């Protein structure tokens, strides 16, 4: 069960980074004359997405390690 949750968390993290890149690409492709604010906001969004992805992955790894360290291995 924990392994499936880890996979889903990694997929969410990957999705967040891809969406952040997509937002930045949309801002860079804009033909507006004053697009500096849009590019800045997209860059901040990408940074937030990467930080959130790393945070989710790290938290999930910690949860899985604490779960596995509490499990007994083998017969008693």
In order along its 76 residues, the chain shows pLDDT tens digits of: 667 888 999 999 999 999 999 999 999 998 888 889 999 999 999 999 999 999 999 999 888 888 777 766 656 5
First-to-last alpha carbon distance for the chain, in angstroms, is 23
Structure tokens at 14: 């990957």
**Cα dihedral 58→63→64→68 (10° resolution):** 140
DSSP state of 31: -
Residue 16 near residue 52 (C-beta atoms within 8 A)? yes
- 25 three-state secondary structure: helix
pTM for the model stands at: 0.80
């Amino acid at each position: 069960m924990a392994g499936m949750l880890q996979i889903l968390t990694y997929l969410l993290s990957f999705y967040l980074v891809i969406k952040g890149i997509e937002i930045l690409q949309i801002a860079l492709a804009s033909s507006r004359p004053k697009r500096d604010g849009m590019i800045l906001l997209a860059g901040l969004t990408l940074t937030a997405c990467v930080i959130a992805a790393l945070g989710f992955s790290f938290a999930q790894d910690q949860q899985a390690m604490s779960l596995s360290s509490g499990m007994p291995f083998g017969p008693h």
